[in-house]
């Protein structure tokens, strides 16, 4: 005969089971919400992890150029480009490899000239030369404005754009060359050429970060665009983010531009805040960390400047601006050994100037005061 309490016990047990199931359900729901929140808050970290590690070495590439190892250069740069065309996630290697020729060293220009003469049908050589010449024009236009420099810059732009066009005839999917044509058109300030270069590039390599980054430069207010256009372009570019996670970096551009405006008016705390927002919006984008390092340096926060510049350097190895910040900030931290090493790396790519000459002298004096003159 069943116990008179059996029904009551069953009800209690069933109630406890329901309560346990409800608690488990709530726990699962909370876990799911936490996971979802993490994904929403950190999508950039996920995307950054899906980008392969950069293996291109600016130092080695320019050493091969210096030694006139043109066959090796052709093979290496072509391999990076073909890999990117097959899988856009590998585009960063091609960007860094061709970016190696963005130098202020006149010996580099001589080297790429010789490479093109030796290998006139090499799209890698033509793109390297175009990179070097257009960068030379950019420096003359943006940093050394004068009538003679503007005339020389126009010649460099014309030759660089011509080389980029010839490179595209050899490889129709050559994203770095399309990006260079957009850059050259922007620097020339010819709206028709800029629109034509943009439309051509997006019709062939819409997945390219190199192309879209140059379009974003052209959309800056100082080049005739607006921040609303920049935001719209960053948002629309995410359509291809699954193919190329680097496109998330474009989300950093509006706060970067706002930070630059504050920086130019010496409003450093506000600039720093915008650069931090750029890091949060665009993730592991080297430019965001580099700009924030510059702001930290201007605020005399030397260690934070080193930390951000070193992080940027890990994302985009041996960028001249990073090396410069690292060299000067290391000296401020009373670390002349590190300063000299960073300065040595910088001078692989750039010609000495009065500031770097003074820094070297200061480093040597600091070493002597520390009893390390024989270091």
From its phi and psi, is residue 319 left (phi > 0), alpha (psi between -120 and 50) or beta? beta
DSSP 321-333: HHHHHHHHHHHHT
Q: Which of 18-22, 37-41, 70-74, 118-122 has the lowest mean pLDDT?
A: 37-41
> Do residues 56 and 315 lie in contact, with contact meaning Cβ atoms separated by under 8 Å?
no
Residue appearing with tokens 């965001």: 288
Q: Which two tokens stand for residue 2?
A: 């069943």
- pLDDT tier at 2 (50, 70, 90 boundaries)? very low
Spatial separation of the C-alpha atoms in residues 298 and 194, rounded to whole Å: 35
- Least Cα distance to 165 among 139, 206, 137, 193 occurs for 193
Cα separation values, 40 from 37, 50, 154, 178, 373, Å = 5, 16, 46, 33, 53
Q: Which of 146-150, 207-211, 320-324 has the lowest mean pLDDT?
A: 146-150
pLDDT at 332: 97
What's the distance, Cα to Cα, between the start and end of the chain in Å? 97
Length of the chain: 375
In order of their start, the domains of the chain are: 61-218 (1.25.40.10)
Spatial separation of the C-alpha atoms in residues 66 and 70, rounded to whole Å: 10
Cα separation values, 359 from 295, 325, 343, Å = 20, 12, 9
Cα separation values, 52 from 119, 315, 372, Å = 30, 11, 41
Cα separation values, 314 from 54, 114, 137, 310, 323, Å = 9, 31, 27, 6, 11
**pLDDT, average across residues 253-279:** 98
pLDDT at 26: 46
Per residue in 34-74, pLDDT tens? 343 333 334 444 444 478 889 999 999 999 999 999 999 99
Question: Mean pLDDT across the chain, nearest whole number?
Answer: 88
pLDDT at 307: 97
- pLDDT tier at 1 (50, 70, 90 boundaries)? very low
Residue 221 has pLDDT above 50, yes or no: yes
| pTM of the complete model | 0.83
Q: Which helix (H) or strand (E) holds 210?
A: helix 209-218
| Separation of CA 153 from chain center | 24
pLDDT at 20: 44
Cα separation values, 306 from 2, 265, 295, 297, 365, Å = 79, 23, 11, 8, 21
> Do residues 329 and 305 lie in contact, with contact meaning Cβ atoms separated by under 8 Å?
yes
Contacts of 182 (CB under 8 A, 6+ apart): 194, 197, 198, 201, 211, 214, 215, 218
pLDDT at 235: 97
């Amino acid at each position: 005969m069943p116990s008179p309490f059996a029904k009551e016990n069953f009800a209690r047990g069933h109630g406890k089971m329901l309560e346990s199931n409800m608690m488990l359900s709530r726990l699962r729901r909370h876990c799911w919400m936490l996971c979802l929140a993490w994904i929403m808050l950190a999508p950039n970290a996920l995307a950054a992890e899906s980008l392969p590690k950069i293996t291109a070495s600016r130092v080695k590439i320019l050493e091969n150029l210096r030694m006139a190892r043109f066959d090796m250069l052709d093979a290496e740069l072509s391999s990076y480009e073909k890999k990117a065309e097959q899988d856009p996630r590998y585009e960063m290697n091609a960007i860094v490899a061709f970016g190696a020729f963005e130098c202020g060293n006149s010996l580099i220009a001589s080297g790429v000239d010789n490479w093109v003469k030796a290998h006139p049908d090499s799209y890698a050589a033509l793109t390297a030369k175009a990179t070097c010449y257009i960068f030379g024009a950019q420096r003359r236009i943006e940093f050394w404005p004068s009538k003679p420099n503007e005339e020389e810059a126009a010649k460099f732009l014309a030759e660089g754009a011509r080389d980029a066009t010839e490179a595209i005839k050899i490889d129709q999917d050559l994203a770095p060359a399309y990006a260079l044509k957009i850059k050259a058109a922007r620097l020339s300030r010819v709206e028709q050429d800029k629109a034509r270069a943009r439309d051509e590039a997006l019709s062939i390599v819409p997945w390219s970060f190199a192309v879209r980054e140059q379009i974003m430069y052209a959309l800056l207010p100082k080049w005739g665009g607006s921040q609303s256009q920049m935001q719209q372009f960053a948002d629309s570019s995410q359509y291809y983010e699954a193919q190329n996670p680097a496109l998330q970096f474009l989300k950093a551009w509006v706060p970067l531009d706002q930070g630059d405006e504050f920086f130019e008016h010496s409003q450093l705390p506000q600039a720093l805040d915008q650069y931090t927002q750029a890091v949060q919006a665009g993730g592991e984008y080297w430019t965001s960390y580099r700009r924030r390092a510059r702001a930290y340096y201007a605020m005399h926060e030397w260690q934070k400047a080193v930390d951000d510049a070193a992080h940027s350097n890990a994302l985009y190895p041996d960028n001249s601006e990073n090396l410069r910040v690292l060299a000067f900030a290391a000296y401020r931290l009373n670390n002349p050994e590190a300063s000299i090493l960073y300065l040595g790396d910088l001078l692989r790519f750039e010609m000495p100037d009065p500031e770097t000459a003074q820094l070297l002298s200061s480093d040597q004096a600091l070493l002597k005061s520390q009893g390390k003159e024989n270091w």
